[in-house]
Amino acid sequence: MKHDNVIGLLDVFTADLSLDRFHDFYLVMPFMGTDLGKLMKMERLSEDRVQYLVYQMLRGLKDLKPGNLAINEECELKILDFGLARQADSEMTGYVVTRWYRAPEVILSWMHYTQTVDIWSVGCIMAEMLLGKPLFKGNDHLDQLMEIMKITGTPTKEFTAKLQSEDARHYITKLPKLRKKDLRTLLPNVNPQAIHVLDSMLLLDPESRITAAEGLALPFFSEFREPEEETEAPPYDHSLDEAEQSVEQWKKLTFTEILTFHPSPAVAESKETAL
């Protein structure tokens, strides 16, 4: 998996010389220094850093929470953990990701999930960077939903009719009617272009949210854009993962992968220098 904004494997090696002695192996990855969650606790981020970090999230987008995002001293960001990221039609439950960054459709399992669950997470993280605290801080999954609707407003009848879960439809129709809040009142000193990004991401209807590609094209990120470098990674091949393998078969496959792995040029050069 090779992407500038996804943590990469620089090298993998083992000291064991044969398969029957194979017990340990070592993964070499870039040193990043800290994660976004820790950084936000240490300091309030400037708007230009928020721009650059959110731009990088969109480039390497998967389901996110701040602790999954590593940052080095140059403010370069890499995604460490894919969380819910998988085939869009795979089952996702309301208890898998950190609650405060969870898309509303995941909380109630109310409709088919698309990749815009990830866009919701980016919007939550971006708002937290600008606000200095989590935007939606629910105590449980229903309280989380209410915290969301205090800002987004309760769903329209048209959207409620699209919900696949009858229980979800019934629950939504019983809620008190709440009007959508203007994010400018919550973030009065924030660049209007940043507010537009949040308004495009934090929508209850996942079909109405922007995609990662659409997000990258918004004016807020224009100074960082390099469209020719915003290539999409090829789909991950799940065939081996889905095949039933014994522990011994996995061991053999892993050992073979280690022996045939080609390290990055920088690592290969440092090995030659050491020798």
**Alpha carbon 267 to its chain's center:** 28
Phi, psi of 269, deg, nearest 5: -65, -40
Range 129-137 contact pairs with CB under 8 angstroms and sequence separation of 24 or more: 129/36, 129/40, 129/45, 129/49, 129/50, 129/53, 129/54, 130/45, 130/47, 130/50, 130/187, 130/190, 130/194, 131/186, 131/187, 132/40, 132/44, 134/100, 135/100, 135/186, 135/202, 136/100, 137/100
Range 153-158 contact pairs with CB under 8 angstroms and sequence separation of 24 or more: 153/178, 153/179, 153/180, 153/181, 153/204, 154/178, 155/204, 155/205
Give the residue numbers marked as catalytic. Answer: 63
Phi, psi of 243, deg, nearest 5: -75, 140
Structure token digits, residue 35:
């994660």
d(CA 58, CA 60): 6
